[in-house]
């Protein structure tokens, strides 16, 4: 803003990238809701439980969906990464807040992609004041947080739901079990022990499974290229499941 002031070069690049996307995408005019990044569960006012998720995969999906003409809402946990220009961004901190933000944006969406790594448990009684240093040991009681994809599964209707499964063993069996448990249309499984597919990496290698089994394997490549393959698969699902835009 301000006379003669140019917006940041990264935003201009994002806008150009979005302007150069395909004109005939099935995602054109669709509303895509993407969860990204980690969440934080507070133990006391200074300590929290979290994980090193960067949000890079979700942001790459958002940028690619916008290049295909989709309207994108990103619900993102704490990350220093700059979200792509043009997306509606809803910042949240805890898993409960992420679920509430997803529920608030869910009505109008056609596609939900759960690319976040929400923390699965939270302290049962977070301390109101900073916990003082102590000798010896102590234990922390934890309670489960809601699973976002499972929580909206009964509201799904004709929407397409996509999830991720980060696994260290039995990739296919574990991914298929999550696909069924969370009532997903597509799950993107990756082996977190493989070099280059861990948290925060710029690359990923995934196998995608639908209810019919393996649909596509994407060899190690950049997250934007992985996003292209995932959204190609979403477009196939949109044409086979004949989703009508949500009103």
Residues annotated as part of the active site: 51
Site map 197..226 versus ligand C5P, x via CB under 6 A = ------------------------------
Task: State the nearest-atom distance from the C-beta of 105 to ligand C5P, in Å.
Answer: 14
Q: Binding mask 137-156 vs ligand C5P (x if CB under 6 A, - otherwise)?
A: --------x-xxx-------
Residue 220 Cβ, how far from ligand C5P at the closest point, in Å?
20
Q: Which stretch binds ligand C5P (CB under 6 A): 25-33, 77-85, 161-169, 212-220?
A: 161-169
Q: How far apart are the first and last CA of the chain?
A: 33
Of 97-126, binders to ligand C5P (CB under 6 A) are 114, 116, 118, 120
DSSP the chain: --TTPPPPHHHHHHHHHHHTS-SS-TTTT-EEEEEESB--EESSSS-EE-----SHHHHHHHHHHHHTT-EEEEEE-S--SPPPTT-EEEE--SHHHHHHHHHHHHTT-SEEEE--B--SEEESS--SSPPPP-SS-----EEEPPPHHHHHGGG-TT-EEEEEEEESS-HHHHHHHHHHHTT-SEEEEEETTSTT-STT-SEEEEEEEETTEEEEEEEEEEHHHHHHHHHHHHHHHHHHTTPPPP-
165 binds ligand C5P (CB under 6 A): yes
Q: Quick one: 18 or 145, whose CB is closer to ligand C5P?
A: 145
Q: Of 18, 25, 35, 53, which lies in the binding site for ligand C5P, with binding defined by CB under 6 A?
A: 35
Q: Which of 164, 209, 210, 243 binds ligand C5P (CB under 6 A)?
A: 164
Tokens of 169: 């063993």
For ligand C5P, the binding residue among 66, 178, 205, 210 (CB under 6 A) is 178
Minimum CB–partner distance for residue 61 and ligand C5P (Å): 12
Q: Which of 62, 148 has the CB closer to ligand C5P?
A: 148
The region of 24-32, 59-67, 162-170, 229-237 touching ligand C5P under the rule CB under 6 A is 162-170
CA–CA distance, 111 with 50 (Å, rounded to integer): 26
Contact positions vs ligand C5P (CB under 6 A): 35, 95, 114, 116, 118, 120, 145, 147-149, 163-165, 178
């Amino acid at each position: 803003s301000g006379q003669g002031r140019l917006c940041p070069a990264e935003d201009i690049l994002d806008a150009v990238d979005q302007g150069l996307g395909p004109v005939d995408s099935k995602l054109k005019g669709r509303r895509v809701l993407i969860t990204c990044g980690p969440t934080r569960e507070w133990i006391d006012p200074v300590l929290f439980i979290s994980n090193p998720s960067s949000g890079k995969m979700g942001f790459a999906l958002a940028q690619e969906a916008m290049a295909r003409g989709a309207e994108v809402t990103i619900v993102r946990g704490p990350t220093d990464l700059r979200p792509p220009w043009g997306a509606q961004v809803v910042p949240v901190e805890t898993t409960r807040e992420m679920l509430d933000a997803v529920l608030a944006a869910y009505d109008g969406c056609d596609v939900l992609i759960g690319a976040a790594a929400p923390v699965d448990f939270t302290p049962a009684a977070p301390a109101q004041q900073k916990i003082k240093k102590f000798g010896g040991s102590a234990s922390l009681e934890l309670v489960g947080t809601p699973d976002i994809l499972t929580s909206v599964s009964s509201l799904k209707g004709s929407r397409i739901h996509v999830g991720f499964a980060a696994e260290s063993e039995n990739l296919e069996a574990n991914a298929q079990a999550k696909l069924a448990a969370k009532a997903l249309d597509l799950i993107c499984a990756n082996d977190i022990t493989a070099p280059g597919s861990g948290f925060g990496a710029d690359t990923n290698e995934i196998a995608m499974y639908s209810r019919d089994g393996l649909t596509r394997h994407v060899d190690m490549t950049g997250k934007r290229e992985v996003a292209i393959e995932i959204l190609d698969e979403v477009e196939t699902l949109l044409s086979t499941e004949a989703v009508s835009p949500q009103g």
